Amino acid sequence: MKRVVITGRGVVSALGSDLSSLMEGLSGGKSAVKAMPDWEGYKGLRSLLGAPAELQNEKEIPRKARRSMGRISLFGVEAAEQAIRDGKVDETLLTSNRFGCVMGSTMGGAGDFLEAFSAILRNYDISELSSMSFFKCLSHTVTMNVAQYLGIKGYVMAASAACASSLQALGLGYELIRSGRQDALLCGGAEELHPIVTGTFDILYATSTHFNDTPSLSPRPFDKKRDGLVCGEGAGVLLLEEYDHAIHRDAPIYGEVIGYSTCGSGAHVSQSSREGMRSCMKDALKDAQLNPENVDYVSAHATATLQGDQAEAAAIADVFGDQVPVSSLKGYIGHTLGASGAIELAASLEMIAQSIIYPTLNLDNIDPQCNQIAHVREPLKRDITVVVKNCFAFGGINAVLIIRKLNN
């Protein structure tokens, strides 16, 4: 089996348009959650909170490439370009058939879906549809646009497993390189903030509704007063590369992927499964040939839903007991859904580099039902070698990826 390292990072989040802005925000304990008063026009939507990101210089993308990109794809392209620059990828490598792209999102372009269907449903007439409606909506719109724009000719695939999408994309990239099928891939995910996305959670009573007037106090992962998730947006892309290939071209190496598992819970479409989560973490550890005590930090999925956080805390306790530090980043940037795994993994890489674990924001009073694990509540300075990243998605789909500081 070949070794897989991370040689490029790109992040767009509500805390800023690159990884360093995200890290500055985490370091400053800053919440990017804002009130979304324009959403009041949606009847039945109770959660009026979001963590919006900003697009940067999207007009620099030539019109013919940009015309098929909705907001979600523009975020994806921006993060992918950052990862390429960061990884010092030249044109020859980028366009070789040994260089691939696997990106994920929950449902494609939500805003463009709404626009397309609104155009049709006004008169049940398709003649007002733009030629680009389809390309902006698609479940693989991010992958398609990133791969087309960058001229990628290797393995291209879209991962679509809601909140586990980008971690599944990274997991697939890891397996493709490990098995020798590809030398390098851009892997990650993107998501756009839209009331119909928040609405899909709101209808299930999974969103935060009690903090509309105090946005920065929500979401509150593992906290006694948590009342649901807050959606965010942005993109995370990591460049995965075969170790010798990276060494040969003198690429920067930020960490190594050493374990991955994805599995179904086989239990319920929306209720989190402690057993499924536990099984996924154990399988990933087995893949990495590690014991739980070898892990220095668990970057939790923890979105601040009542049942999800409780199940995850129990599952983490089942595997790691109460000694391994655990935190969730959702309080800072909201839940970036299909992008969350990649964004939070990029943050974890920086935490490894800086020897610091950032705490769970808004965790003021730990819910007794989530109290069986080692919550990080203040910045924790320590050497970090191994990080476990969790993503648990609607549909009972679990994904866990394990990285470590490069060990020569």
Partner 1 sequence: MDEEQLKKLVNEVFEESFETNTEHLKADAMIFEDIGLDSLDIVDLVVALQKKFKVQIRDDERIRNIRTLGDIYQFVINLKDEGHIPEA
> Which chain residues interact with partner 1 by CB under 8 A?
63-64, 67, 127-132
Residues making up the chain, counted from first to last: 408
Q: Which is nearer to partner 1, 130 or 355 (CB)?
A: 130
How far is it, in rounded angstroms, from Cα 167 to Cα 161? 9
How far is it, in rounded angstroms, from Cα 229 to Cα 43? 19
Is residue 335 part of the annotated active site? The answer reads yes
- Is the bond leading into 221 cis (omega within 30 degrees of zero)? no
Smallest distance, partner 1 to C-beta of residue 149, A: 15
Q: Which is nearer to partner 1, 43 or 122 (CB)?
A: 122
3-state DSSP assignment of residue 13: strand
Q: Which is nearer to partner 1, 67 or 268 (CB)?
A: 67
Smallest distance, partner 1 to C-beta of residue 203, A: 33
Helix (H) or strand (E) segment spanning residue 238 = strand 234-242
Q: Which is nearer to partner 1, 113 or 211 (CB)?
A: 113
Count other C-beta atoms under 10 Å from residue 240's C-beta. 31
Smallest distance, partner 1 to C-beta of residue 79, A: 24
Catalytic one among 140, 194, 245, 301?
301
Smallest distance, partner 1 to C-beta of residue 67, A: 8
Query: The tokens 């980008």 sit on which residue?
Result: 166
CA-closest candidate to residue 72, choices 192, 248, 215: 192
Q: Are the CB atoms for 349 and 254 separated by under 8 Å?
A: yes
Is residue 301 part of the annotated active site? The answer reads yes
Q: Which is nearer to partner 1, 40 or 125 (CB)?
A: 125
Structure tokens at 200: 């899909």
Catalytic one among 101, 137, 163, 280?
163
State the sign of the Cα–Cα–Cα–Cα dihedral 178, 180, 184, 185.
Answer: negative
Smallest distance, partner 1 to C-beta of residue 58, A: 13
- The catalytic residues are 163, 301, 335
